[in-house]
Amino acid sequence: MIRVLICAGILLIASGCAGSERSSATPVAPAPRVRVLGVAQDGGVPHAGCSCDTCLAALVDPARRFHVASLAIILPPDANERKMGVFLIDATPDVTEQLHMLRDVRDAPDGRTDRAPVDGVFLTHAHIGHYTGLMHFGFEVMHAQRTPVWCTERMGEFLRTNAPWSQLVDKDEIRLPTLTIDDPLPLGSGVTITPVEVPHRNEFADTVGYVIAGPARTILYIPDTEPWDRWPEGMLKLEHLLRIHSVDVALLDATFYSLDELPNRHAASIGHPLIVSTMDRLQERSDAGLDVRFIHLNHTNPALDPGSDAQREIERRGFTVAREGAEIGL
């Protein structure tokens, strides 16, 4: 099934059903924008080893599948560039398909491997859904050429000192420029990206979210975090980030909808905010115009189903679930 979508002033031609708006988009007019490449938690949907209704449906119906959460920042050619600029946020286990979702905005070589499919990658942290796709940039697959992978100093040290990621560095397939928290990095076309500190399980490296600011709109992206009320003293709270960065669109961790989907689990063991808690916390801001979109949904999350009571309640309250292929203008 082919659909024509209008999203953030950009025309998309998409195939599939409402559960998976994957686009082969051609913009009507080039403009900086973000494209959603995935909405699921690290295991994706279907989830490994799972026989729940959601995962079984995804095994037989491609339209019920969801890629692991990731964004692409797409920049139009500027006065000095002929090609579009494309940057990934996170390199997920689904990066092969997600790179193909960007072929419409890349000058990819025909008939052979593109060894520079993106202009760079920004990593959030060292959990498997967010960096393990880097393996495809390596010698056995793409054999990329000095792809910049921006990350914090601790994340960079993790990659440099642990195989097989160290081989990517040694073979000059990736390089690891260091990000500084709260320091904006210009990407071009009036777009900057700023890492912001986020609390999460930091077994191997620290965790960041990103503020992506463009000429017309600012996006806050936090796919993984501790519950909002567990952010430590001295760290900027969610509400402060929204205010000081004048955020228009917030794409936020929505791993779980409520405690009902995780029986026999104590609330303190959940390292993520619940969707219902986030809605309660941001209801006034949403009513005042903040566009909140939920992302990084676990395969157990009923909000993945467009016909569910959970998604209807989200929409009734003025929030939305992020859609693969959707674009947000910057």
Please tell me whether residue 215 adopts helix, strand or coil conformation.
Answer: coil
For the chain, how big is the Rg over CA atoms in Å?
Answer: 19
End-to-end CA distance of the chain, in Å?
29
Domains (range + CATH), the chain: 2-329 (3.60.15.10)
Supply the pLDDT for residue 266.
66
Q: What is the pLDDT along the chain (330 residues), one digit of tens a residue?
A: 333 333 333 334 333 333 434 344 444 447 899 999 999 999 999 999 999 999 999 999 999 999 999 999 999 986 565 566 999 999 999 999 999 999 999 877 777 888 888 999 999 999 999 999 999 999 999 999 999 999 999 999 999 999 999 999 999 999 999 999 999 999 999 999 999 999 988 888 999 999 999 999 999 999 999 999 999 988 889 999 999 999 999 999 999 998 888 777 665 677 899 999 999 999 999 999 999 999 999 999 999 998 999 999 999 999 999 999 999 999
Kindly provide the b/e burial profile for residues 133-148, where b requires at least 16 CB atoms within 10 angstroms of the residue's own CB: bbbbbbeeebebeebe
pTM value is 0.89
Give the count of beta carbons closer than 10 Å to the beta carbon of residue 247. 21
Distance from C-alpha of 177 to C-alpha of 101, rounded to nearest angstrom: 26
The answer to whether residues 196 and 209 touch, using CB atoms and an 8 Å cutoff, is: yes
Select from 90, 71, 218, 94 the least CA-distant residue to 151. Answer: 90
Please tell me whether residue 278 adopts helix, strand or coil conformation.
Answer: helix
Supply the pLDDT for residue 83.
64
Distance from C-alpha of 193 to C-alpha of 241, rounded to nearest angstrom: 14
The answer to whether residues 33 and 8 touch, using CB atoms and an 8 Å cutoff, is: yes
Q: Please give the backbone phi and psi of residue 32, each rounded to the nearest 5 degrees, phi first.
A: -65, 140
